[in-house]
Structure 1
């Protein structure tokens, strides 16, 4: 009774451990996937597009490999069926041969024992007579018969041993062939799993990419609306209508624009003196100008740049002396500060995590004054007299 309780307890414990292990593996898998999604969300638009295109190439390669393996496996499958049948037959034959061999070994042992008995030495003091002579003649004849039987049985034993070896060689060869077939099946299953994982990654990456494009359009729309209200950049009614009607194109459409920004934005080169950058250390995450999206065939004109700070909670500095004309929260661009400068220049600082408490509309501020802080990315835009300027032409990148 105690043993029974112990085994029940052991079974329940092992089952519990297995459930925990499966749950842990699932959690680890989910954490890894969430980490990958976060990495994709933080990537540049063009890098994410590159990942999607590479993923499509990987899927094509996987499909081709699966197609080849499917064809090879189909051919091997017919051969495997025949070989499985042959293997069963050979195994059965080998079993019978091994039984015959064991039987022969028993017979050989018995014959050798008899032969040994007939060859026993003559006892001491033995007197040879007529009867003993006849007995020796009989024994000699029996010995010859036994030797003949032993020889024949030995030959049969040798033959059956060779047959067994031959069958074993055939069985090994078939097993090797079947192992190749089973390995092929395993490779095919692995490829199909890899293909499914890649399809799921592609779906997720495309969803992230589409969302990024939509957010980019919405953010540009909101900023244009703000600039229009402040009479910094004024646009025609026709352009505004185009902006509302444009949508993300499908894969099979020709290249088209996203919003009215593409070719609708008036741009000019900045030829003045360079000034300080709004961040101390950064990389350019999104460049100014044309971007042709390779996934949905959309033309985008980036009117701003996105600067990625090399440290978190970074301070954002005003780049030229000027007056604050806008400083508040927005729905798409988080917190935004716009500063008006001489010669019709305006600088826009968007996606601020915080606006500095001393930054108020109407206040004059000097170059280098902190306008706010960011967690990671700063959207920085520059205009001059109804024209957009590449912000990287205005600031020093040293």
Structure 2
């Protein structure tokens, strides 16, 4: 029975190697595709970022232009209000002057009616008296002076009307300037609104592409880690196969010349067993095959499960760096990286626990999966194999 098992194991090694090679090639193709996609997305993000910078610079220019327009409108509005106040005062002055002219005219008519009417009548009748002659002369002087005052008032009114016309013209000019500024303000405000909309759209696009970019980057990193672990597994498998082939031909004689395997030392405290109630059925280190009598170095230990579906736990806190179905005799495999360059490998898992994935951080004792019959448990430190029993307590 042991002979058949060993032969079957030797037959499965090439199949496992082929499976690893296929996975490595597949991961390389995926990684190459991800790199191309990553570069495209990186370029797209750079383009969007430049567009956002340009749009913000344009918006800044528009803000400055709008500020300038607001300032001009405010200044011209102040000038317009000042002219309106002056025009109002001017209108009052014009009204007062017009009223003063009317008052002088009425006063003159009243004076003529009351005091000069008789003298004028006698003058008309050619019957002047001494008094009427004096009144006539006084009337002439008064009429002349009154006319002079009225003419002066008219001149003042004309000056004021010219000034008023100037104010009105300036008001119209300022109103026109304000209207133009307000029109420009509307146009620039519309441009600014469009720029803000563009910036928001670009920011939304940037967020979408950033999310895709991060996803691609994480996928790329995950693929790189998987590829690295597959390369490690392939290297170990090749060493294992070489050792098997060498030991198979050398048999018992070669056992005395067998190359010693360097192992890592460990002086730390022991931790929990990866499987409660388990029993050691295969030890770590060199042993002689009972059938073929050749020396074999076993890099792991095998633990017998107390029952079907026994839970497997992480012996230390760490991060999952490999978790998938490796196929063949190893079944599902989980590799966890721990502090001090320690890695623990759990093979022959029948199923993985929910939430176990590459990058997942685990605490000591976290369930990583289940086994049906046995667990193959391996430990490395500083890239050298280590006796797992130096790390765990059974």
- Which structure is richer in relative contact order (CA contacts within 8 A, separation 6 or more)? 2
Q: Same fold (TM over 0.5)?
A: no
Q: Give TM-score, length-normalised by structure 2.
A: 0.41
Q: From the CA coordinates, give the structure whose radius of gyration is larger.
A: 2
Q: Give TM-score, length-normalised by structure 1.
A: 0.41
